[in-house]
Amino acid sequence: MLEVLAGIGRNGRTGGYRRDAWSPPELELREWFRQEADARGMDRHEDRNGNLWAWWGDPDRKPGVVTGSHLDSVREGGAFDGPLGVVSAFRAVDVLRARGFTPNRPLGIVSFSDEEGARFGVPCVGSRLLTGILPPERARGLTGDDGVTLAEVMRAQGRDPAALGRDRETLARVGVFVELHIEQGRALTAPVGVAAAIWPHGRWRFDFHGTADHAGTTALADRDDPTLKYAQAVLAARGVAEKLGVVATFGKVMIQPNNANAIPSLVSAWLDARGADEDAVRRLVAELSEGQEVVCESWTPEVTFPAALRDRVAAIAGHPAPILPTGAGHDAGILASAGIPAAMLFVRNPTGVSHSPAEFAEPGDCAAGVTALAAVLADLCGEAT
Ligand SMILES: [Zn+2]
């Protein structure tokens, strides 16, 4: 199934994926999801916030056990981050059916919309809207680099942006959520692990202003060059992060007007900061923000997955499976922070590289992930008698 998806949104030169929310490759992946649901005779629908659902059993009769992940990618991302969880969800259903298993609770598969935030800057838009964590009026106004808003993009795809927002009906169908995901660090040495917690993390936009002028005729002493302020901020971020024991990244930068022969007038740069200790992350941002123009674009406090569910999943997924924290954000974390029992399975990443075309998981480990997921779903659903 991953091979079927391998060509969608792939840059043939670099091997990296670009599957921005609501872009043609992402729409193709949505169509693939619908076909996989139909092929299994699952009831499917898209909720008001653009998340895709497929159901085995009737989730309005009693709350279901839901698994899945996302199909969008970061820019120049890898093949596994997101799709591995959705593919494994469909494969786990196949495994259970081949075994003659009949779930006692409805079993759902979800693909959350715009998890990475590659296009509009805010991650987990679909799950944040669903749970009400992201106000719909803010979501509608989110604007991509091309100046087009999320509302305009959705309208162009025949969706109704006025309907965005907290969706109690859809949420009520989710009794418990288990997300399978590729591990994104080097911490997992067993084929399958279980998440303990997601580090607190956020994104901040820094605007460094200067004065546009000629690159040849303006003496160095006469310049107000915002790239120098940006460069100082990058170096400061590294130093403060080391001091406080957190991680900080300026991974996205936009320079105005972006002429090779002009001193820029504006540098906008996005700081991504995370760490095990929330106070340390906040201190880092406060230190770097001093005297700067800074806007917080997203903030997610630490999410600790419920211990009883975590231990139950670990016992079933391994002997038991190792439990580890992660610095990566996930839809499961958003659902957990909204009070829905949630857990995560990680599949080993031999290099630890992620958000890169080099991201990889061994086929044997992916298969182990499906086996573990199927066992967890069977346990949570219970067998109909
Ligand atoms: Zn992901």
Q: Are 57 and 63 in contact (CB under 8 A)?
A: no
Q: How many CA atoms lie within 13 A of 275 on its CB side?
A: 20
| Distance of CA 63 from the midpoint of ligand 1 (Å) | 25
Q: List where CATH 3.30.70.360 sits in the chain.
A: 201-300
Q: Is the peptide bond before 257 cis (omega within 30 degrees of 0)?
A: yes
| Distance of CA 330 from the midpoint of ligand 1 (Å) | 6
Residue 385 has a pLDDT of 82
- Residue 355, annotated as binding a ligand: yes
| Distance of CA 124 from the midpoint of ligand 1 (Å) | 9
| Distance of CA 341 from the midpoint of ligand 1 (Å) | 19
End-to-end CA distance of the chain: 32
What mean pLDDT do residues 117-142 have?
A: 96
- Residue 274, annotated as binding a ligand: yes
What are the angstrom distances between the C-alpha of 172 and each of 61, 64, 177, 351?
11, 9, 12, 39
Residues in a beta bridge with 271: 204, 250
| Distance of CA 385 from the midpoint of ligand 1 (Å) | 36
Average pLDDT, the chain: 96
| Distance of CA 16 from the midpoint of ligand 1 (Å) | 15
What are the angstrom distances between the C-alpha of 361 and each of 40, 187, 237, 292?
26, 14, 32, 41
Look at residue 169 and give its three-state secondary structure: helix
- Residue 44, annotated as binding a ligand: no
Residue 287 has a pLDDT of 97
What mean pLDDT do residues 252-272 have?
A: 97
- Residue 203, annotated as binding a ligand: yes
Residues in a beta bridge with 181: 346
- Residue 181, annotated as binding a ligand: yes
Tell me how far apart the alpha carbons of residues 163 and 298 are, in angstroms, rounded to a whole number.
22
| Distance of CA 200 from the midpoint of ligand 1 (Å) | 16
pLDDT tens for residues 138-166?
999 999 999 999 999 999 999 999 999 99
- Residues 239-243: contacts with CB under 8 Å, at least 24 apart: 240/284, 240/287, 240/288, 241/273, 241/284
| Distance of CA 246 from the midpoint of ligand 1 (Å) | 21
β pairing state of 43-46 and 107-112? unpaired
| Distance of CA 220 from the midpoint of ligand 1 (Å) | 45
3-class SS string, 66-81? EEEEECCCCCCECCCC
pLDDT tens for residues 48-87?
999 999 999 999 999 999 999 999 999 999 999 999 999 9
Q: List where CATH 3.40.630.10 sits in the chain.
A: 3-199+302-381
* 250 phi/psi in degrees, rounded to 5: -95, 90
| Distance of CA 108 from the midpoint of ligand 1 (Å) | 19
Residue 249 clears pLDDT 90, i.e. is over it: yes
Residue found under tokens 């840059």: 11
Tell me how far apart the alpha carbons of residues 375 and 380 are, in angstroms, rounded to a whole number.
9
* 346 phi/psi in degrees, rounded to 5: -110, 140
- Residue 81, annotated as binding a ligand: yes
Neighbours of 260 (CB within 10 A): 5
Tell me how far apart the alpha carbons of residues 149 and 132 are, in angstroms, rounded to a whole number.
19
- Check if CATH label 3.40.50.10300 holds for domain 201-300: no
Helices 278-289 and 226-244: crossing angle in degrees, nearest 10, is 150
Residue 70: both structure tokens together: 């996302």
What mean pLDDT do residues 108-134 have?
A: 97
Residues in a beta bridge with 56: 107
| Distance of CA 248 from the midpoint of ligand 1 (Å) | 19
Residue found under tokens 């942006």: 161
Residue 319 has a pLDDT of 87
| Distance of CA 26 from the midpoint of ligand 1 (Å) | 14
Query: Can you list the positions of beta strands (E) in the chain?
Result: 43-46, 52-56, 64-70, 107-112, 174-182, 192-198, 201-209, 213-214, 247-256, 262-263, 266-274, 293-300, 303-304, 323-326, 342-347
| Distance of CA 181 from the midpoint of ligand 1 (Å) | 7
| Distance of CA 82 from the midpoint of ligand 1 (Å) | 4
| Distance of CA 81 from the midpoint of ligand 1 (Å) | 4
User: Which of 134, 136, 118, 164 lies closest to 22, judged by CA?
Assistant: 118
Percent of the chain with pLDDT strictly greater than 90: 96
Residue 305: both structure tokens together: 């997955």
Residue 104 clears pLDDT 90, i.e. is over it: yes
| Distance of CA 85 from the midpoint of ligand 1 (Å) | 9
Q: Are 350 and 324 in contact (CB under 8 A)?
A: no
Residue 191 clears pLDDT 90, i.e. is over it: yes
pLDDT tens for residues 7-16?
999 999 999 9
User: Which of 159, 48, 170 lies closest to 108, judged by CA?
Assistant: 170
| Distance of CA 115 from the midpoint of ligand 1 (Å) | 7
- Check if CATH label 3.40.630.10 holds for domain 3-199+302-381: yes
What mean pLDDT do residues 208-235 have?
A: 97
| Distance of CA 262 from the midpoint of ligand 1 (Å) | 39
Tell me how far apart the alpha carbons of residues 313 and 316 are, in angstroms, rounded to a whole number.
5
